[in-house]
Amino acid sequence: MKPFYDFYKDASRLFKLLVVSGFSGSGKGSILDKFRDEHRTVLGRPIEVVTSYTTRSPRYARENYHFVSPEKFQNMVFTDAFLEYSEAYSNHSYGTPIEGVLDALNKGAIPCLEIDHIGLKKLLAEGKIGPNSVVSVFITAPADELYRRLCNRDTETCAQIRSRLLTALQESYHVNSYQNVIFNSDLNIAVEELQEAFEGRLQTVVEFDDMQFRKDL
């Protein structure tokens, strides 16, 4: 596949790609929703969260995914329709469509991807986009708070919650590879810090204690 810059020719426009990751239950979706509901901009431009494709089934109404069959997903892989994709997350496949990123750019928005550390690593390693064009943020919360939030969702079984916590355990090894880490204990503060992180002026440096997190989990 050609480098991603080949898909975006207009060098006169500032190109940035925002990446937001976080543990299940960290509240990253709520933070992004509030960011958009408040009509915030990044350096004068709106952000647009690119809708990912997945082969899993919906868990609740109005989820922000394109739900497709495994056959459809494989066809998109074959036709190089994804900027990045993973086929090994909780036995389901997830992918970021190139078309969605380009749609955001063509509308004058800054594309924002909700992907995990594997997706971020692929994005940077495969030469589709330069590392200086990516702003990465990881949303975290205390282990006991993650558990409480997952239980309060009332959308997953005990086995599914356990699986998500085990995934968080694995993800904890990669948190400090992100440019910015936000501790979500207050939604309003987290949204403000996300704004600052996107614009490269986040003053609060969060030292994520991965070893303590794993002990607490």
Per-residue model confidence as pLDDT tens digits over 152-205: 887 778 888 888 888 899 999 999 999 999 999 999 999 999 999 999 898 877
CA 41 – CA 104 distance, rounded (Å):
14
Please give the domain boundaries of the chain with CATH numbers for all domains.
15-216 (3.40.50.300)
Residue with tokens 């996300």: 194
The structure's pTM equals 0.88
| Residue of 182, 176, 177, 178 whose CA lies nearest to 202 | 182
Give me the pLDDT at residue 61, please: 63
Give me the pLDDT at residue 8, please: 46
DSSP assignment letter at 67: E
Give the tokens for residue 102. 């380009």
Give me the pLDDT at residue 3, please: 45
- The 3-state DSSP class for residue 47 equals strand
| Residue of 49, 37, 51, 43 whose CA lies nearest to 188 | 37
Kindly calculate the radius of gyration of the chain based on its CA atoms and give it in whole angstroms: 17
* Distances in whole angstroms, Cα of residue 51 to Cα of each of 36, 82, 102, 103: 14, 12, 12, 11
31, 190 Cβ separation under 8 angstroms: yes
Give me the pLDDT at residue 14, please: 52
CA 3 – CA 126 distance, rounded (Å):
8
